[in-house]
Amino acid sequence: MNIVIKPSKLKSDKTIKVLGHKHSFVQLVAATIIFNTKCTIHNVPKTDDTDILCKLIVKFGGKAVFKNNTVYIDTKSMKYKRIDENLCNKIHGALYFIFALAIRFHKFSVVPTGGCNISAQGMRPYNHLVDILNTFGVTNKLNKTEYSWKPCKKTNVVQNIMRFSDSMFRLTGEKVSSATKLCILAAIGTENTKTIIKNYYFRTDVHDLLNFAKLCGIDIKRTDNRLVINTENKNISDNIVYTLSDCQSEVMTFITLAIVNDIKLTILVKNLDVLQNILYPELKILQKIGVNLILGNNKIIVPKQRQLSGTNITITHKGIQSDHQPFIALLLSFANGESVIKETVWRSRFAYVPELNKLGYSIKKYSNKIIIKPYEHNRLRTNVILNATDTRATAVLCIAAIKSGKTVKITNIEHLTRGYDGFIEKLIKLGARVLK
């Protein structure tokens, strides 16, 4: 699907509301399957992942009803069957759905999962799913494309996420975040076991998964570098009600939109305290480059900004999120000096760079880093066609297209539906002229 963004002047002093983090919904669906229970989840965005996961639950005999950004789920009647590959290969969240099936039914199909193509290898990592099951004492058997396994009772399991890192000294690479979440799901689904997870990744989806598991009756203790999950006295509660935390990536998107297009914008959120904790590295770097946000009363006010300053940044699992790297790059294009961004998580996440350069930006890629020079409006080309490649890159291209003041066509805009609920509609509300 394509859109055309016509010359637009965004309205200032407007308010938009963000919804919950779709990656958190993915984890809560997996936990609900593992616990064989019911739940009600509020603040759910309408995205490909949320829609397809609900369809998969129904295909497996469960119930899932999406209404007014609330999802009602009942997994009690789910029965095992071979998973629908056509649905799986559309969303990355299918990986956790498959893993939940493995824990509950002791078998699962090996099928490719989808999502944004941001991996250096093309398809996102998958083999650590079986690896993690093995560390919990599982003995498995592969029959063509389906695993079946028998659990072996282990009273103590220690998982160190560093073994999934590309470096011996720090958390880097593509497997760290999914390995953390898979380890947590395996831990909460294992009977009478104490699991210690060291050097874990922590973002909104992990925060929500841990809190949801606690509400369900799992004993979890957390420090900065260590999770202890104890299921020795597990007594799962039924019909849990949970509200998803705000999507930090949608917040970063609209902060960037406001700054680049020089408008004042108010962003409404559900829980600013959680958001500030998760976004601490981003908020710190925004402050460093000269972005002055006003935070309070569950809202973020983005006032019109003064001149930004260039800086150098390294994207890590403990710092600025890889999802937000394209937004930071766009902001730094309007700084008063040269900037460098080095990516250590998704090292190939730079497909947006040549597309921005079509609009007159000056960004050069060297291996896993980019060098950003100040944007010069007089370098702007006309009759530009931009090719969108993943969710966050697509949002960045939309923001840059609006800033250009020119007619810009963007192809493959369907990437937006994996990470945003009504993104184009929100742009139009703010004054963008978008032709579908």
Contact by Cβ (8 Å): 386, 401: yes
Contact by Cβ (8 Å): 371, 403: no
**Domain match, 213 and 179 both:** yes
Q: Which among 223, 243, 263 is the end of a domain? A: 243
**Domain match, 224 and 341 both:** no
**Domain match, 80 and 218 both:** yes
Distance from C-alpha of 185 to C-alpha of 190, rounded to nearest angstrom = 9
**Domain match, 165 and 310 both:** no
- Span 1-26, average pLDDT: 95
**Domain match, 261 and 233 both:** no
Whose tokens are 């060098």? That residue is 371
Between residues 375 and 255, the one the model is more confident about: 255
pLDDT of 146 > 80? The answer is no
**Domain match, 340 and 325 both:** yes
**Domain match, 402 and 328 both:** yes
Query: In the prediction, which pLDDT does 122 show?
Result: 47
**Domain match, 93 and 194 both:** yes
Q: Which among 243, 266, 285 is the end of a domain? A: 243
Query: In the prediction, which pLDDT does 170 show?
Result: 84
User: Considering the chain, what is the average pLDDT of its residues?
Assistant: 91
**Domain match, 254 and 141 both:** no
**Domain match, 163 and 178 both:** yes
Q: Which among 243, 268, 296 is the end of a domain? A: 243
- Name the nearest CA neighbour of 40 among 247, 243, 246: 243
Query: In the prediction, which pLDDT does 305 show?
Result: 85
**Domain match, 178 and 51 both:** yes
| Count of structural domains, the chain | 2
Query: In the prediction, which pLDDT does 148 show?
Result: 75
* Distance of alpha carbon 254 from the chain centroid: 16
Backbone angles phi, psi at 300, to 5 degrees: -120, 120
> What tens digit of pLDDT does each residue of 176-226 get?
999 999 999 999 998 888 999 999 999 999 999 999 999 999 999 999 899
> What tens digit of pLDDT does each residue of 386-414 get?
999 999 999 999 999 999 999 999 999 99
Least confident range of 33-47, 83-97, 221-235, 339-353: 83-97
pLDDT band at 123 (very low <50, low <70, confident <90, very high): low
Biggest CA-to-CA distance, the chain:
67
- Span 372-386, average pLDDT: 82
- How is residue 50 written in tokens? 């949320």
Between residues 418 and 265, the one the model is more confident about: 265
Give me the amino acid identity at 217.
Answer: G
CATH number of the domain enclosing 86? 3.65.10.10
**Domain ranges, residue 212:** 22-243
Percentage of residues of the chain with pLDDT beyond 90: 72
**Domain match, 207 and 316 both:** no
